Structure 1
Amino acid sequence: MPSLPFVFWNRGSLKLEGAARRSDEVREQGFTAVIDMRGATWSTVKPILKVLQEHFPGSVHIAYIIKPDNFWQKQRTSLGSHKYKFETNMISVEALSKIIDTTQLTSDLEGTLHYDHSQWIDVRLALEDFVWQAADLLDRLDDLQEDLSRSDFADDVAGAKHSIDLHADMKKKIMKAPVEDIDLIGQKLLQRLSGDANSGYDSGYSGRDSEASSVVANPDLQASVPQILQNLEAIHTSQQHLLQLWHHKKLKLDQCFQLRLFEQDCEKVFATMFDWICHNRDVFLMNYVEIGHSYKLAKELQEEHNHFTMSSMNVYVNINRILTVASRLIESSHYAAQHIRTVASRLDRTWKEFAAGLDERTAVLALSVLFHHKAEQVITKLFLFSYLDMF
């Protein structure tokens, strides 16, 4: 029959031995359990059978119970009366090797399988500790990823600056995560499972070579190697993904800060321009349709308007600077490019409408000055001609 993993009872310890990874066909046959009743009592065996029946995670095919020399017929009858999902048979140590491959039996059962339960527990505890630490670290990295995934962009310049500072602290948390420490633990555990003498592990056993070979030959422990590698890969992948998310959000936060600065500048320009217009509105509107009834008055209005226009150039300088910033932000693929384009267009349109009024007023006053200047020249000449005709 094919070699099956088995459980055996030996001096009060329940132990699980594993053969190599089984094929699906062998896997379906389930486990062969061997319970060593020598030196034990029936009251000790019954709980083990109950555990195998109710709590053992795998499928048990058959349970062989090694009987002591003075095993009573009554106890054997009692055993047969129990109804288990698996078959139970009493057997002697000598007959056991005829049913189970001796390579799957320990020396206590006259087999050749090297197995040290203390060493197995020690390695298993190290494995469980690594898995726990790796899982805990992955949970912490997942929490950091959740924090980085939030789209919590501030609504003002101060808030945007604060978000950038908090994001810098997040980078420190990512880099402080004990990824390298867990990686070192995992690598040492892999070396230990591979029997590498350079693993730095010292069990205290004098027969170190036999221990190493036992670990390497133990399929249950070797089956944990892919899990260790998977955890190490998951941790490094998670950290790299976190760093990518961090850099991506850093770009977004920088863009948010630039956006809030842009909006703040736009608000200042709008406020400055509107305050300036409101302050000069009365004068501007009062004289807007006034073109002067003489050259002197037209010239005075023109000079006042030119002064007004020059004053407005200070506003235009700020507007032009903001529009330049807006173009640069849009070209840099800013996440709020459409919003920036809308605000910039509104600012540009408002200024152009105002500038068009100034240009129109400039042209009208220029024509008025020219007209009155020519008119006064004509009147002067006519007056001179009239004066000469009198003589």
Structure 2
Amino acid sequence: MSNVTVEATNMLPILKKKLAFLSGGKDRRSGLILTIPLSSDQTSMEELSATLDYLLSIPSDKCKARGFTVIVDGRKSQWNIVKTVVLMLQNVIPAEVSLVCVVKPDEFWDKKVTHFCFWKEKDRLGFEVILVSANKLTRYIEPCQLTDDFGGSLDYDHNDWLNKRLVFEKFTKESTSLLDELSIINDSDKNSAVDKEKSADCALLPSFDPETVLQTGHELLSELQQRRFNGSEGGGGQGAWCPMEEELLAQPQVMKLLDSLREQYTRYQELCRQRNKRTQLDEIHAKVMQVVTWLQGPGSELLKTQQAIGDSMRAAQALQQKHEEIESQHSEWFAVYVELNQQIAALLSAGEEEEVVELKALQQQLSDVCYQQAAQLEGRQNVLQAAQGFHSTTQELSQLLDGLLGMLCADVAPADGASIQQNLKLLEEKLQTVEAGLASLRQKGALLMEQMCTQPSWPLEETESPPGEQQDNVQHIQAVMEEMQLRKQRCEDMVDVRRLKMLQMVQLFKCEEDALQAVEWLGELLDALLKTHVRLGDDSQETRTMLDKHRKFVDVAQSTYDYGRQLLQATVVLCQSLRCTTRSSGDTLPRLNRVWKQFSVSAEERQQRLELALNFHTAAERVLQQERVDPESLDEVDSSGKTLLDRLTMPVIFPDGTEQYFGSPSDTAAAAEGVRERLLLVEERRLQLDPDDFIM
């Protein structure tokens, strides 16, 4: 097919006028039939010439070599126009025209004139011109090759042909241009290595979309193949039409263009894929280096400047807040790391060997830097947590020491020994709490120093934090623990003094309580002596036993009195030690002495009565048991009995002048009755004795 210099798009208004057309029909020599349908209107020779130039540029040289049969339809035109058109054919296509059939109208032109003109110009024209009626045209051309305008059966739709022609030319133009562009792109990439500095978008965008052009070509080829298939099936019979034969629309050229376009487009796609992959690798490399640069640069600097542990809980919390801000900044870059890691993993699964090596190196570099930075963050977080624990314990211990010191500085004025014991217990508990707090502080201080020492080290090429700052932190921790130890020791010393004082106070209260108890016991002994120690015994043996018990009873009372005296003396000593006024001797000691004097008088009286009773019973028993009785013995019994009876009726007179009787009157009467009964027995014994029985 010859190169088309004029496109249908540029002369679309002229082509739409259908001044001439190639219907696809052929003459008996297989030459193409060119139809020029002249109308009654004035035909523009310039437009007709342009139309013929365009139409004759379509067939191939091989097709042109078979010659054209031109049908000039002059049935609606004038002879001079027909003549002009026939002469114009000589200038436009003299070599290609083999026969010109001029279809004459029903009202025939002047035969002589027309015959003379064609005959006159025959040698000069170079082709044969015949004048024929429409119904006689089949003598030269088969009916199946003629359109229905000339009584033939060949279908021809000029608008459809024009649309197809526009599509064909558009496809040819776009595909040819696209092939050139793709060839340049592919060849340039083949002849030189892929420029890694260029992006995938640079010089890789052709003027037309290859997918769209290929789609258009396939649709056009499908239409051409369908038309040709239908034409061949018709076998030249009735109704067959094949306007899209290879001579007209160059179906092989469409196929060739499609094949070439597919080949170049496949190469182009591979090139784009490679460049996209290279670009993707470059982008990943850039992002990796961006993450690495930030982590090793600003990120590391942020962490290196944060080495302090603070000197209080509030300062440690402020450092923790600052660290959380730094962690937040790192989290954004760690998120980029995760995304990059996923992208690299996806590329590794489908990457080539060279790319895999590069990707693994990037992945390893990125992972090393990120894990190193994460370890630094974790180490710093551990230090801050340990610092907060240390400062929190320091604060709590300081408060405990302040509370203990306040308790030690307060005056102790307990009401009794129980309250002193309670205060002492509380003091001991506070001291134990302080000791536990100090032990916890030492433990957390050791943990903090351990965390500081075990922090991940920075790479050798990076400047580490100043050793002086770390040393200051250690010295601060040790100073805090030493200060707390000194404060605790001072409190312990004060606790020892307070404990001794409180124990002395407990002892003081105990002595006072026991002294009061001794007074009560002595009073109870006195009360028992006066109320229950009334009987004098029925015989000497019983009286002697009662006298022994009385002496023991007095010994118990004496011990109680002595114990009370000792306790009261101890309270005096304790009060002097505690530098407090003597509280017990002014009340308890007089009471003790008073009760003891009352007991002593009562016990002496009781002992005398028992001794009188013993003498009485002894004398009475001797009189009653002897056969011969001395009269004086009888008188002695009588006298001692009466003395005893008189003594029973007498009260005990205390030093303060008060009086107290032993027992109740009935008890006294019972004791006296026993004495009287003995006296009666002695008197009976006197009466029973003969004068000879008396010892003279």
TM-score range, shorter chain: 0.3 to 0.5
Query: TM-score, with normalisation over the residues of structure 1?
Result: 0.48
Larger Rg: 2
Query: TM-score, with normalisation over the residues of structure 2?
Result: 0.28
By relative contact order (CA 8 Å, sep 6+), the higher-ranking structure is 1
